[in-house]
Amino acid sequence: MSPPAPTPLFRANGPLPGSVHVTTLGPHGAPPVLFVHGSTSWGDDPHYGFAAQAPLAGRFRLLLMDRRGYGGSPDAGESFPGDYLADDDDIAELPELTPEQWLQASVGSTGSPPPEASEPRLRAAGTALRERVCWEAAIPLPALRAAAFPKLVISGTWESAPEQDRERGGVPFMACARITAERVGGRHASVPGAGHWPHVEAPETLNGLLAELWHQAA
């Protein structure tokens, strides 16, 4: 008797058109590492994305994914151009990652001048305004805490941000990072001199933290 057909992936936003764009840096055969950006950005965006992590490609194979609605990837659907449910499916389907590796994906705003209003930037900003809101996502904290791989949550210290930005943005972000690390059984690291974008504002420090984590996980 043949096994039952697998259940199709749930896509609340409708069928996903096309596939996501991934910028790949580093040699084949090196340990793969996935970077997933936040809002108003894309994978190799030099302002808010992970362009400053390129030096790590000498030791690792970096996969800089453009989420749907951003960069070179198509929209997720008519209801939401950006959708964390679609992100979850896309990450799971990336060919270079095993299920164990995608679980360890790094999932990337104030105090800096705005970048040039280019077409990709305007599209990213538009998607950020209309994507499925992330606070609806159910985070499997017990499963993450029980997982054997090392976990690291990184935040800036925000001391160089304007006082109002630090009070209303930085303090909540730092508290969220600290509590998240505690709840998933991970470690919280602070990057001095950085605010919302440690990977852009202090790339050497952040790259060192990532390399240490990845060597620990190998």
pLDDT in tens, 135-160: 888 889 999 999 999 999 999 999 98
One-letter amino acid for residue 164 of the chain: Q
Which segments within 73-196 are labelled E, that is strand?
106-107, 152-156, 187-191
Q: In angstroms, what CA-CA distances link 36 with 21, 65, 113, 159, 160? A: 12, 6, 23, 26, 26
Q: What is the pLDDT of residue 12?
A: 53
**Residue 66 tokens, joined:** 């453009």
Q: Give this prediction's pTM.
A: 0.74
What is the percent of the chain where pLDDT is above 90? 53
pLDDT > 60? residue 100: no
pLDDT in tens, 21-40: 999 999 988 889 999 998 88
The band of 96, judged by pLDDT with boundaries at 50, 70 and 90, is low
pLDDT in tens, 39-71: 889 999 999 999 999 999 999 999 999 999 999
pLDDT > 50? residue 180: yes
